Structure 1
Amino acid sequence: MKLTDAKLRALKPTGKTQKISDGGGLYIHLSPAGGKLWRLFYRFDGKQKTLALGKYPDVSLVEARKRREEARELLGQGIDPGEHKKQIKAAVAAEAVEQAITFEAVAREWYGKKHIAWTPGHQKKILARLENQLFPCLGNRSFSSLEVSDYLGAIQKAEARGTIETAHRLAQLCGQISRYARISGIAKHDVAAGLTEALSPVQTKHYAAITSPADLGHLLLAIDAYQGEPAICHALRILPYVFVRSGELRGAMWEEIDLDTAEWIIPAARMKMRRPHVIPLARQVVKLLHSMRDYSGSHGLVFPSSFSASRCISDMGLLNALRRMGYGKEVMTVHGFRTTASTLLNEHGYNRGWIEAQLAHAERNAIRDAYNRAEYLPERRRMMQEWADYLDGLRGQSDQQSANIGKP
């Protein structure tokens, strides 16, 4: 006899387990304590099985019968209702876990794996971009719920402020985190790919540089005549000879430099491309370094700040010196010495591979890059000495005299 709500309400515990059928395998399991639980008997793959359908009255008689019919439909399709229920439950649990993983959690996990290979300055810069610009918009959001529009909404705030390059940096950062999430199994798709396509293009930044031999000669004379802090003066006099990046020169340590062999080896941690860089030192540079050692000593920083021996001179200190000499930002920059050297050496026929290796520009092929850097060292040593002699010859000379630079 089929059950009714009245019968269900009237059921009383007897101290023993009771099973009251509603037909079609559906029954009420009445516990000795009075609990009323819906159960469904069914057979699958030749085995007798039981499926829990909920507790009465939370699950009504009508709902229990509906669930029985749904189970029958699954059986008709060759699906085990019990296994199907487990799969749904697991999927719901997985979705709940997925929803609990926020963008900030994934980003910090990515940062934790990557930051050990970065310089302290780069670590600080990336963390600041995350904490100040991305976390306020995306930090508490479930990572799996984020769409392209969410990422764009965060990075276009920087674009709206006119900081286009920052917006592009943020887009790249989001892309790296999103790829990490996909590869790590946190997300199924890399939805942050190609974000830069929706941003205004970055205007290429060109550093002003003197490339006229005569003008370069006048600049060198101005640097020689400049009176200022010893570390600033020596750094400015050395920079044209070595054409390294400003930070690489300013952060130079005495333990990196061997004056006897006339070599300066900048460790990978201080290089933009994270590879050690060997710089052959011309006689003129060795002489200037000997002079600088009289001021800074032979340990620690080569160019310490006058305010603190533990801090190097600043880029602004070098730039301000150029400005005091009368060279505005549209004429010459600190970075411009690299452009000056590259332009003139190329114009005078030096091997482009030697020049690129000396500038520490990366090859697309890492193996070839490492090979060329070692292979070109004798050639670069000769080129750097000839360049230094050429600079000395430019001081106060005419354009005609400057053409005497030797060709390899």
Structure 2
Amino acid sequence: MSLPSKKIGSTKGKSLTNDRIEKLKVGNQDPTTRRIVTNNQKISDSSGLFVQVSKTGKKTFRYKYYSLEERNSKGIPKDKVVTIGTFSLNGDGIDSFTIEQARSKHRSEIALLKREGTDPQDKKIEEKKHSDALQAKEERTFKVLSLQWLEAQPFTDLHREKVVARLKGDCFPLMGNKPVHTIVREDIQAVADVIIARDSIDTAHRVIAWLGKIFEDAYFRRLTPVDPTVGILKRLPRAIRESHKAVVEPDQLREVLLKLDASPSQLTVKTAMMLLPHVFVRQMELRFARWKDIDLESGLWILHKSKVKGRSIADPKMADKPKDYIVPLSRQVVEMLAKIKPFTCNSEFVFPGLDSITRPISNGSINVAMKRMGIIETTAHGFRSTARTLLSEKLDIPAFVIEPQMSHSTKGDKYGYQRGSFLAQRRAMVQVWSDYLDQLKVGEPDIASLKAKYEDLCLKFQKM
């Protein structure tokens, strides 16, 4: 049995108030007693309740009681102290308290003590053990561990967003709150089935591969006795892959170019579509183009690559790979960029998003706009194949000039990714290519004069 103690050094009629507690400060006078407040001084309220003041300014409500079951060596009941919480004028009644809230909690705990004989200190110890157990259980859920795994990966921000989106969309609803050691093969298969049901087989392969990495990490950390993803990836249906559509016939390309010119799309999206046939970089590289990397006067774009053959440049295995390369820009491209710049609202991106200038246009913006224009013969990525084919077949541009412009490394050519690789020839090539596209839109290009112009420009740029 435990009982509350008497008041600690209090004076009748001088119980605590919020205003008085607020003014208590070590080294200053107590506004009620006019005595100097010392460090860790206990100032009583009633029935053992008191507030303790520290030199840091923290004021803590505690109460003192004694236990008849626990006695010291002299047989005297042992004093015990229980902490209620810190003082605050805006107390929430859980972690911080006003004097009224502290009294209420004190009375309820003492009443429980008298009614049931429950020791307040023992009760708090049990509550903490229970709370710690719940916290440990929560910290080992799939959701928590998967996000911890993701944080440790050398992914680009864009790739990280994709992984988070799939975890939140496909995995967390089914097993996010489950402790990892309780997740079984059927749970993983259920995730795969949901994704496959919407005909996203490629996505299913990627998600299950990520889950394999997450559970491999959990198994290594001894948080789960087995890896429930083993064998599932191999049993998923295979995705039917189609190559990117592309036009390689001049007449078809003419129709596509004229449709792009007539597009009613928003200015940034339309300009991005019109630029792609001229620069034929990857769609992601164009979307994330930044003004600080483009020199309109010299017609050069330093393209900082976020990926090399699908790998993040943060991957340690990519440490020896060059991270950027020079993309020469034709006169037509420079003119289009100069025209759009005043309308980008000082965004760092050349093609800012429609909803926010702090992000580029979305991943599907260009392809969606092309489909709305009735352009189904090619995709945005297909312009790379178009340029690669026609530059070689129509203008006789050698592969060692084309491939570096596309950031391809030709077989056996270790210089394919060098920033300045064949720069003079590539500057000549992009200008002749843009001229070819302009001539194609109005009729048959003058191939002979374009070839001659290429040779002249090569000599010109080599002397610069």
Q: For the superposition of Structure 1 and Structure 2, which TM-score range results when normalised by the shorter chain?
A: 0.5 to 0.7
Counterpart of 2:386 (choices 340, 356, 368) is 340
Question: Which of 127-136 and 339-348 deviates more?
Answer: 339-348
What secondary structure does 1:278 align onto?
Answer: strand
Q: Any conservation in 1 of the 2:293–2:302 contact (CA below 8 Å)?
A: yes
- Percent sequence identity over matched residues? 31
Matched, 1:231 2:268: yes
Quick one: structure 1 residues 131 and 237, their matched pair in 2 at CA, closer, same or farther if it must change by over 3 Å? closer
Counterpart of 1:128 (choices 161, 165, 190) is 165
Q: Deviations over 1:54-109 (max 9, x none)?
A: xxxxxxxxxxxxxxxxxxxxxxxxxxxxxxxxxxxxxxxxxxx9998443343122
Partner of 1:285: 333
What secondary structure does 2:246 align onto?
Answer: coil
Q: Any conservation in 1 of the 2:325–2:418 contact (CA below 8 Å)?
A: no
Counterpart of 2:211 (choices 156, 170, 174) is 174
Q: What CA RMSD, in Å, does the superposition of the two structures yield over aligned residues? A: 4.0
Question: Which of 388-397 and 373-382 deviates more?
Answer: 373-382
Give the Cα separation in 2 of the matches to 1:158 and 1:296.
Answer: 38
- The answer for unaligned runs of 5 or more in structure 1 is 1-96
What secondary structure does 2:152 align onto?
Answer: helix
Quick one: structure 1 residues 352 and 169, their matched pair in 2 at CA, closer, same or farther if it must change by over 3 Å? farther
Partner of 1:388: 434
Give the structure with the larger helix fraction: 1
| TM-score normalised by the chain length of structure 2 | 0.54
Quick one: structure 1 residues 403 and 203, their matched pair in 2 at CA, closer, same or farther if it must change by over 3 Å? farther
Give the Cα separation in 1 of the matches to 2:192 and 2:143.
Answer: 15
Partner of 1:212: 249
Give the Cα separation in 1 of the matches to 2:233 and 2:359.
Answer: 37
Matched, 1:151 2:188: yes
Partner of 2:143: 104
Q: Deviations over 1:93-140 (max 9, x none)?
A: xxxx999844334312211212x6422x43332112223322333434
Quick one: structure 1 residues 363 and 202, their matched pair in 2 at CA, closer, same or farther if it must change by over 3 Å? farther
Structure having greater relative contact order (Cα 8 Å, sep ≥ 6): 1
| TM-score normalised by the chain length of structure 1 | 0.60
Give the Cα separation in 1 of the matches to 2:411 and 2:229.
Answer: 25
Pairs aligned (count): 306
Q: Any conservation in 2 of the 1:99–1:143 contact (CA below 8 Å)?
A: no
Q: 1:334 corresponds to which letter in structure 2?
A: A
Matches of residues 7-406 of structure 1 in structure 2 within 5 Å? 101-114=140-153, 117-119=155-157, 121-144=158-181, 146=183, 148-181=185-218, 192-193=229-230, 195-226=232-263, 229-269=266-306, 274=313, 275-296=323-344, 300-304=348-352, 309-310=357-358, 312-313=360-361, 318-319=366-367, 322-323=370-371, 325=373, 327-329=374-376, 331-347=377-393, 350-352=397-399, 354-360=401-407, 368=414, 371-398=417-444, 401=446, 406=451
What secondary structure does 2:247 align onto?
Answer: coil
Quick one: structure 1 residues 117 and 283, their matched pair in 2 at CA, closer, same or farther if it must change by over 3 Å? same
- The answer for unaligned runs of 5 or more in structure 2 is 1-135, 314-322, 456-464
Quick one: structure 1 residues 352 and 146, their matched pair in 2 at CA, closer, same or farther if it must change by over 3 Å? farther
Q: Any conservation in 2 of the 1:283–1:385 contact (CA below 8 Å)?
A: yes
Q: 2:303 corresponds to which letter in structure 1?
A: I
